[in-house]
Amino acid sequence: MGGVMWRTVILLSVAIISTGCSPSRSGPPPVKSGLVFLTRDGCANSERMLANLDAALRTLNRPADYQVIDQGTLPKTDVRTGYATPTLLFNNHDLFGLPEPTPPYPEPT
């Protein structure tokens, strides 16, 4: 497995263990907690990151329960529109430690 996938496994493990939560893919946005994959139309890296996420969850013997959200469906005031894509959030925090975006949120490029 590649380094990025192992980093994802480790970060998911820490997040899940520290909160005692089981990621969930239930209900439409907004998500109050759980695992969320942010993407947008034309995001070149989403397919690979989703494959790494699914592999990481399999390695952890966790269900592939997460919500995929297209940023284009969110209101422009939603903080999640400020993240680059793809982004993986766990309980509304970037899994890789990026800070929460602050307004004004950039337009996707």
Q: What is the pLDDT of residues 15-46, one digit of tens each?
A: 554 444 444 444 344 444 589 999 999 999 99
pLDDT (0 to 100) of residue 25: 41
pLDDT (0 to 100) of residue 5: 56
pLDDT (0 to 100) of residue 15: 56
**8 Å CB contact between 90 and 15:** yes
pLDDT (0 to 100) of residue 20: 43
pLDDT (0 to 100) of residue 106: 73
pLDDT (0 to 100) of residue 24: 42
With a cut of 50, list the residues of the chain below it in pLDDT: 1, 17-32
First to last CA, the chain: 30
Distance CA 18, CA 20 (A): 6
Distance CA 49, CA 61 (A): 18
